[in-house]
Amino acid sequence: MRAPKSFEEGMNRLEAILDQMQQPETTLAESVKLYAEAASLTEYCRNTLEKASLQLDEIDAKCAEAQTPEADH
Amino acid sequence: MAEVISVSALNRYVKTLLDANDLLFDLALRGEIANFVQNARSGHCYFSLRDETASVKAVMFRSDARRLGFRPEEGMKVVVRCRVTLYERDGAFQVYVNDMFPDGIGSAQLAFEQLKAKLDQEGLFAPEHKKPLPQFPRCIGLVTSKTGAALQDIRNVIGRRWPAVKLLLCPVNVQGFEAADEIAAAIDRLDKSGRVDEIIVARGGGSREDLWVFNAERIARAAYRCKTPLISAIGHEIDFTILDFVADQRAPTPSAAAELAVPDRAEYARKLFILEENIHNSIQNKLELCYNRLDETAQAFSRPQMQGQLAQRQQQLQMLTGQLSAAARAKQQSCALQMNHAASLAASLNPYGVLARGYALVQDEKGRICAPDALRAGQSITLCGAKNRIRCTVDAVEEPNESTQKL
Q: What CATH number did the domain enclosing B156 receive?
A: 3.40.50.261
Shortest alpha-carbon distance between residue B264 and chain A (Å): 18
Q: What is the pLDDT of residue B254?
A: 92
Answer yes or no: are the C-beta atoms of B58 and B48 closer than 8 Å.
yes
| Facing A39 at nearest CB: one of B294, B297, B301 | B301
Domain shared by B166 and B79, yes or no: no
Using the Cβ of A49 and the Cβ atoms of chain B, whether some distance falls under 8 Å is answered with yes
Q: Cα B386 to the chain's mean position, in Å?
A: 122
On whether residue B152 sits in a domain, the answer given is yes
Domain shared by B170 and B80, yes or no: no
- Residues B331-357: pLDDT tens digits? 889 889 999 999 988 888 887 888 888
Mean pLDDT of chain B: 87
Domain shared by B87 and B165, yes or no: no
Task: List the domain range (segments joined by +) for residue B371.
Answer: 353-397
Shortest alpha-carbon distance between residue A26 and chain B (Å): 12
On whether residue B115 sits in a domain, the answer given is no
- Residues B215-244: pLDDT tens digits? 889 999 999 999 999 999 987 666 688 999
- In this structure, what CATH number is given to the domain that contains residue B42? 2.40.50.140
Q: Which residues of chain A have pLDDT under 50?
A: 71-73
Domain shared by B141 and B92, yes or no: no
Residues in A touching B298 (Cβ below 8 Å)? 14, 42, 45-46
pLDDT of B405 > 80? The answer is no
pTM summary value = 0.52
pLDDT of B68 > 60? The answer is yes
- Rounded Cα distance, B266 and B163, in Å: 12
Shortest alpha-carbon distance between residue A73 and chain B (Å): 15
Residue A73 vs residue B281, higher pLDDT:
B281
Q: What is the pLDDT of residue A71?
A: 47
Write down which residue in B229, B249, B265 finishes a domain. B265
Write down which residue in B239, B265, B291 finishes a domain. B265
- Rounded Cα distance, B385 and A46, in Å: 97
Check residue B358 and give left, alpha or beta (phi > 0: left; psi -120 to 50: alpha): left
- Residues B310-331: pLDDT tens digits? 788 788 888 888 888 888 888 8
User: Is A28 within 8 Å of B306 when comparing Cβ atoms?
Assistant: no
On whether residue B309 sits in a domain, the answer given is no
User: Is A42 within 8 Å of B301 when comparing Cβ atoms?
Assistant: yes
Using the Cβ of A46 and the Cβ atoms of chain B, whether some distance falls under 8 Å is answered with yes
Give, in degrees to the nearest 5, the angle at Cα B130 between B126 and B132: 160
User: Is B294 within 8 Å of A31 when comparing Cβ atoms?
Assistant: no
Q: What is the pLDDT of residue B105?
A: 61
On whether residue B337 sits in a domain, the answer given is no
Name every residue whose Cβ is closer than 8 Å to that of residue B10 and which is 6 or more positions away in sequence.
B91
Instruction: Specify the 3-state DSSP secondary structure of B88.
Output: coil
Answer yes or no: are the C-beta atoms of B186 and B173 closer than 8 Å.
no
Cα atoms in the Cβ-side hemisphere of radius 13 Å centred on B282? 6
Answer yes or no: are the C-beta atoms of B97 and B67 closer than 8 Å.
no
Other Cβ atoms within 10 Å of B199 Cβ, number: 27
| CB within 8 Å of chain B, chain A residues 1-30 | 7, 11, 14-15, 18, 21, 28
Q: What is the pLDDT of residue B110?
A: 74
The rounded percent of chain B whose pLDDT value lies above 90 is 40
Question: How many domains does chain B fold into?
Answer: 3
- Residues B100-121: pLDDT tens digits? 887 766 666 777 888 888 899 9
| Mean of pLDDT values over B245-249 | 94
User: In Å, how far are A52, B47, B81, B87, B369 from B26, measured between CA atoms?
Assistant: 89, 19, 7, 17, 190
Write the ipTM: 0.71
A39 to chain B: nearest residue by CA? B301
Give domain limits for chain A. Answer: 7-72
